[in-house]
Chains A and B, each alone.
Chain A
Amino acid sequence: MTYVNVIPPSPELSIYGGMADETLFEFLHMEIVSHVYKEQQSSKGTMDNKDRAVCVSVLEGMGFRVGQGLIERLTRDSPSFKDELDIMKFICKDFWTKVFRRQVDNLRTNHQGTYVLQDNKFNLLTQLSNGKQYLDQAPKYLAFSCGVVRGALSNLGLESVVTAEVSVMPSCKFQVVIQKLP
């Protein structure tokens, strides 16, 4: 199974200031989501909650593999991390910048393995709406990104559960719960 390879913009692709590959991913992501939902729906006419859950977990699984690969590439040259909080800070700053083109606006933690990352202009939601319109559609477009974060953490040695919630677009909160080994 192949995964999306994020390459740095080469001079030929940078005619619009490096936008070409970002736009490519945006369109591809839209089509991936649409494809997964259509596939699930094709057998019956309507979708129930179980179908929706299947779609979300397929998208999340894809993101997981992408995140694993991405983090290998992005931490090639960095020193190893001191502790869990250091890893989370790396995710919020460098990782988020490389993948989502901005930094996380707010990181909160209970110092017991739960972290909430708030991004006020999450770049996969900015084209959707500026408030409440299409709110019910938002989770579809966040599943892949949750997987990316989970995959990144997994290859840094942290197993986690990542979920996202949106109340007013384009701001959204990712909740990361680190799974402690028993």
Chain B
Amino acid sequence: MTVHNLYIFDRNGNCLYYNEWNRKKQAGISKEEEFKLMYGMLFSIRSFVSKMSPLDMKEGFLSFQTSKYRLHYYETPSGLKFVLNTDLSVTNARDTLQHIYSNLYVELIVKNPVCASTQTLESELFSSCLDAFIRALPYYSPRAA
């Protein structure tokens, strides 16, 4: 049971924050390329999901899973995108992502006069609170399943 990594993108596609806890294999490309790849994929899959939906859609794209991991997605009304990769035992991380947004991002970044919310988030307070929060999650353990 574990959390692998977390990305936060702003509405223009810039990666504001990335951190990993338990990533065994890297993508083999530079971090910038990886962020572009991730954002591009999210953009395409969201538009695909809404086009091909046989019913009226409410939330849209929520997550995908492979044989080894699940990717959870949460988009705020302001266009901020949170992406969390966990192992398969975590079925729904929406509440977690929502908590990260409202209790960590809004409290520590939006209300921080020094942090511009369109550049990489450098607040150590945010980093350390987020890290503590992830490690305290019931489904987090230091060793990947």
Contact = CB atoms under 8 A, between A and B. Distances in A.
A133 interface: yes
B123 to A, nearest CB: 7
Given A30-B113, A33-B113, A34-B113, A127 B124 contact: no
A107 interface: no
Nearest to A169: B125
A129 interface: yes
Among B107, B108, B113, B125, find the residue whose CB has the most chain A CB atoms closer than 10 A.
B113
Given A127-B107, A127-B108, A133 B113 contact: no
Interface string A130-146: 11011001001100000
State which size class the interface on B falls in: 10 to 19
Contacts of A141: 113
Interface residues of A, number: 16
Contacts of A128: 112-114, 123, 125
A125 to B, nearest CB: 10
B132 to A, nearest CB: 11
Interface in B87-145: 107-108, 111-114, 123-125, 128
A165 interface: no
Contacts of A21: none
A129 B113 contact: no
Contacts of B125: 127-130, 133
B25 to A, nearest CB: 32
A133 B111 contact: no
A169 to B, nearest CB: 9
A29 to B, nearest CB: 8
Contacts of A26: 111
Contacts of B107: 127
Nearest to B112: A127
Contacts of B112: 127-128
A133 B124 CA distance: 7
B73 to A, nearest CB: 26
Among A26, A27, A129, find the residue whose CB has the most chain B CB atoms closer than 10 A.
A129
Interface of A: 23, 26-27, 30, 33-34, 127-131, 133-134, 137, 140-141
7 contacts: A26-B111, A30-B111, A127-B111, A128-B123, A130-B125, A134-B123, A137-B114
Given A30-B113, A131-B124, 14 more contacts: A26-B111, A30-B111, A33-B113, A127-B111, A127-B113, A128-B112, A128-B113, A128-B114, A128-B125, A129-B123, A129-B125, A133-B123, A137-B113, A141-B113
